[in-house]
Amino acid sequence: MQGNAACAEGALAAGCRFFGGYPITPSTEIAETMARRLPKMGGVFISMEDELASIAAVIGAAWTGARAMTATSGPGFSLMMENIGYAAMTETPCVIVNVQRGGPSTGQPTRAAQGDMLQCRFGSHGDYSIIALTPNSVQEMFDLTVKAFDLADRFRVPTFLMADEIVGHMRERVTIPDAVDVTSRRPLAEGCLPFEAGNDGVPGFAPFGLGRSVHVTGLTHDERGYPDTTDPGAHDRLVRRLVAKVESARRDIADYEVTNPDAETVFVTYGPPSRTVEQVMRDRPDDSIGHLRLRVVWPFPEFALQEFGNAKVFLMPELNMGQMVREVQRHVDQPVIPLEKIGGELHTPAELVRALEAHR
Amino acid sequence: MIAPDWFREDRLPHIYCTGCGNGTVLNCTLAAVEEMGWERSETAFISGIGCSSRAPGYILADSLHTTHGRALAFATGVKMAKPDLNVVVFTGDGDLAAIGGNHFIHACRRNVDMTVVCMNNQIYGMTGGQGSPTTPLGAISTTTPYGASEPAFDLAELAVAAGANYVARWTSYHVKELTRAVTTGMQTPGLAFIEVRTQCPTNYGRHNKLRSVPAMIEHLRSHAMLVEKRDRLAREGRPIPEGTFTVGELVRRNRPAMGVKQ
C-alpha cells in the first residue's frame, strides 16, 4: 500500500468522518482516498476553495463532535497557519497532515523535505503548543495517523502528522488491525464551564447541538468562553494553560526508539532519514553507533537524549538546513552536528558513513 | 426586547456604539428564529471578525466566533458534518466581501443550507472607519480621506450571480420586511443571503455629513428602491435616481443545495 493511502486508512480506522481539503502534491492521494471511502462510511468529504477554508471547515466539523482531518503540503500549510492558531486557542481537536515537499514557496512539488518542522511548531502567531508526529514508513503512516487522532482528542489540540514525499509515495507492506484504540474527548461535565480545565489542563468538550450553548472565540476568553481581552491575568492564565497542557504531558506523549544507548556516537533522527541510519547500522559489525529515532517531535522529548549516557557527539541527518539541531543542542552539552540535505533526496548510507568518520 | 430567551444577559453591556444598526439586525434575526420555532439545541450561530461578528457572542446558543473572513468556511464544516443543526451566519462587508470574498462566492455556489445575514455598514467599523469594498465612490473614510476612488461591490447581486437560493436586501429601517426576509431565507433550503444596509454613525456618518442617527436612517430609507419599482423604471426607459440601491427579494429559487436536513 502507498503511504498516503495508509494515512487515509488510519484516519478512517480512528473514526475520522470529515475531511476538508484542497488538492496539492504530494498529499493528494490522501484526499482522493478519503473522497472514495468516506461517503460509503457515512462520512463527509468536501473539496474546499482553498486551504484556509479547508482547515476552517475541519474546525467547524470538529465542533459538531466529528473527528476531522485535512491534508496538505508546504504552500497549503502556510495558508492554514491562521486557523491553526484558532484551533489552538479554541482547543479544537483536529488532525493536519503535511506531506512535506521542498520549499520555500512552490519549491519542489514532487520532492521530499522536512522543511516545515519549525513552522508546524511556531507558524501561527502568539504562544501555543501543538503535537507533531513523524512517520518513517508506510506502516507508521497508518499507525501514527491513528495516534494523532487519539492525542488530538485527549489534549484538545491541533495535532500534526509531519510526513513527507518519501513516506507519502513509498509502497510497503502494511498490517491493518481489525480495530484501533482511540480515546474519546472527555465530555463536558454537568455544572462545568466550557473552558474550565481539569487537573490535566484540558477542559471537557460539549459538541454543538447538545444544548450547552458553548461560545467559542479566538479572542482571549475566560472559563465561560466569553471574551476578556484586556485583563492581563486572563490572557496569562489561558495561554499558559494552553502551553502547559501539552508541555507538561511530554513524557506521556513521547514516542521514540533507542538503539545502542551505550554508544559514543549517536544519530538523532525523525522520519525517513532514520531509514538510512538503520541501513548504516545494519552494515556495521558492532554496536558502536547509537540511534534515537523520534516518532513524536513536538512536544520535544528532551529526556530521550539522556538515555545516551556515554554520548560524545550527536549527528542529525535532516532533509532541511538543520531545523531541529538547535532544539537538540539546547538540551545537551555535547556537540550536535547537522547533516543537512536539501534538494529532495535522502542521504545515502555512504554519506552518513563519511559523516561518522569525520566526527567520531 | 424581542426574543429575550435568546440573549446572553451575562454578556451585557455589549460593545455596539450608540445608534449602531447592528442591534436592530440582531433583533430581527432572532425574531425570525422565534418565528421558525427553532430550539437552542438545534441552532448554531457563526461569525467572522468585525462589529457584525460580535453578534453570536450575545446569543444564548452554540456559537463560533471565528477568524476574519472565514465564517462561511467554518459554517460549511459545521453544517456538512451535522445537517440537523440550523446554521445562521452573521458577517459584515469587510468580513464577507474583502477578506472573505472567495468563501462567499463558493458558499453561494455550493448552496449550503444556511442563513447568512450581512450587516453592510459600508465601512470597517471595529478598526475605526477604513474604506471597505462596499464604501460608496466618493465617501470619506480614514483611508479614503479624499473620497473613495474604488467602485463598490453589490453584495446581493454577487450572491445571486454565485448561486444562492434566496437573496434579499433591506435596511435597518425596514425591520418588518427584514424580519420577514430572514424568516423566508430560513425556510428556503440552500444558502439564503440577506444583505442589510445598516448605519454606522460613529465611523461612517461622522465623516459623511450623516452625523445623527435619524439622518443616517432617513438616508437609507430614502435611497432604498424596491426591486419592482427599479424594474418598472427600467422597463419604461426612465432614469434610475443616482445613489439609490434596490431592496426586496432579488431571487428565490431551487438550485441543488448541500447539507439540507433530511
- Quick one: pLDDT at residue A360? 77
Instruction: Give the containing element (helix H, strand E) for B229.
Output: helix B227-235
Same domain, A40 and A75: yes
- Quick one: pLDDT at residue B105? 98
CATH number at residue A240: 3.40.50.970
Q: By the CB < 8 Å criterion, does B11 face chain A? A: yes
Residue B8 resides in a domain: no
C-alpha cell read off for B257: 443545495
Residue B11 resides in a domain: no
- With an 8 Å Cβ cutoff, are B82 and A65 in contact? yes
Same domain, A78 and A176: yes
Which residue from A273, A278, A270, A263 is spatially nearest to A314, judged by alpha carbons? Answer: A263
Same domain, A289 and A234: no
Same domain, A199 and A304: no
DSSP codes, A161-186: EEEEHHHHH-B------S----PPPP
| CB of B110 closer than 8 Å to CB of B81 | no
Residues of chain B found within 8 Å of residue A61, distances taken between Cβ atoms: 77-78, 80-82
Same domain, A223 and A344: no
C-alpha cell read off for A86: 484558532
Calculate ∠ Cα A82-B52-B198, nearest 5°: 140
Residue of A nearest to B45 (CA): A215
**Closest CA–CA distance from residue A273 to any residue of chain B (Å):** 37
- Quick one: pLDDT at residue A34? 98
- With an 8 Å Cβ cutoff, are A209 and B82 in contact? yes
Structural domain containing residue B107: 19-229+243-252
Same domain, A244 and A317: no
Q: B47 pairs with which residues across the strands?
A: B65, B90
Number of structural domains chain A divides into: 2
- With an 8 Å Cβ cutoff, are A82 and B44 in contact? no
What is the pLDDT of chain B when averaged over all its residues? 97
Give the CA distances from residue A108 to residues A101, A111, A175, in Å, rounded to whole numbers and listed in that order: 6, 5, 31
Please tell me the distance from the alpha carbon of residue A191 to that of residue A193, in angstroms, as a whole number: 7
Q: By the CB < 8 Å criterion, does B75 face chain A? A: yes
- With an 8 Å Cβ cutoff, are A218 and B66 in contact? yes
For residue range B201-235, list pLDDT tens digits in order.
999 999 999 999 999 999 999 999 999 999 999 99
Residues of chain B found within 8 Å of residue A195, distances taken between Cβ atoms: none
C-alpha cell read off for A47: 473539496
- With an 8 Å Cβ cutoff, are A218 and B81 in contact? no
Taking phi over 0 as left and psi of -120 to 50 as alpha, with beta for the rest, A173 belongs to: beta
Residue B52 resides in a domain: yes
Residue B67 resides in a domain: yes
Residues of chain B found within 8 Å of residue A215, distances taken between Cβ atoms: 8, 56-57, 62-63, 65
What pTM, to 2 d.p., does this model score?
A: 0.98
For residue range B88-131, list pLDDT tens digits in order.
999 999 999 999 999 999 999 999 999 999 999 999 999 999 99
Per the listing, cell 461569525 goes with B47
Same domain, A208 and A343: no
Same domain, A132 and A171: yes
Same domain, A29 and A133: yes
Per the listing, cell 468556511 goes with B73
- Quick one: pLDDT at residue B165? 98
What contacts B46, CB < 8 A, 6 or more positions away?
A: A60, B56, B63, B64, B66, B71, B74, B75, B78, B87, B88, B89, B90
Please tell me the distance from the alpha carbon of residue B115 to that of residue B56, in angstroms, as a whole number: 13
- With an 8 Å Cβ cutoff, are A52 and B70 in contact? yes
Residue of A nearest to B258 (CA): A46
pLDDT tens for chain A, 360 residues long, are 999 999 999 999 999 999 999 999 999 999 999 999 999 999 999 999 999 999 999 999 999 999 999 999 999 999 999 999 999 999 999 999 999 999 999 999 999 999 999 999 999 999 999 999 999 999 999 999 999 999 999 999 999 999 999 999 999 999 999 999 999 999 999 999 999 998 999 999 999 999 999 999 999 999 999 999 999 999 999 999 999 999 999 999 999 999 999 999 999 999 999 999 999 999 998 899 999 999 999 999 999 999 999 999 999 999 999 999 999 999 999 999 999 999 999 999 999 999 999 997
Number of structural domains chain B divides into: 1
- With an 8 Å Cβ cutoff, are B62 and A86 in contact? no
- With an 8 Å Cβ cutoff, are A53 and B73 in contact? yes
CATH number at residue B104: 3.40.50.970
Confidence class for position B3, pLDDT limits 50, 70, 90: confident
Please tell me the distance from the alpha carbon of residue A264 to that of residue B3, in angstroms, as a whole number: 73
Select the residue of B10, B41, B65 nearest A211 (Cβ to Cβ): B41
* Boundary-marking domain end, from A186, A220, A253: A253
* Boundary-marking domain end, from A234, A253, A272: A253
Can the peptide bond before residue B241 be classed as cis, meaning omega within 30 degrees of 0? no
Select the residue of A50, A213, A216 nearest B65 (Cβ to Cβ): A216
| CB of B202 closer than 8 Å to CB of B17 | yes
Confidence class for position B1, pLDDT limits 50, 70, 90: low
Same domain, A249 and A260: no
- With an 8 Å Cβ cutoff, are B84 and A209 in contact? yes
Confidence class for position B15, pLDDT limits 50, 70, 90: very high
Whether residue B79 has pLDDT greater than 70: yes
Structural domain containing residue A293: 256-359
For residue range B18-52, list pLDDT tens digits in order.
999 999 999 999 999 999 999 999 999 999 999 99
Q: B225 pairs with which residues across the strands?
A: B246
- With an 8 Å Cβ cutoff, are B80 and A52 in contact? no
Pairing of strands A296-298, A131-133: antiparallel
Q: Which residues of A touch B (CB under 8 A)?
A: 17-18, 20, 44, 46, 48-50, 52-54, 56-66, 68, 82-83, 86, 208-219, 224, 226-227
ipTM score here? Answer: 0.97
- With an 8 Å Cβ cutoff, are A83 and B70 in contact? yes
Residue of A nearest to B11 (CA): A226
Same domain, A11 and A54: yes
Taking phi over 0 as left and psi of -120 to 50 as alpha, with beta for the rest, A107 belongs to: left
Residues 85-124 of B with CB under 8 A from A: 85, 102-103, 106
For residue range B123-172, list pLDDT tens digits in order.
999 999 999 999 999 999 999 999 999 999 999 999 999 999 999 999 99
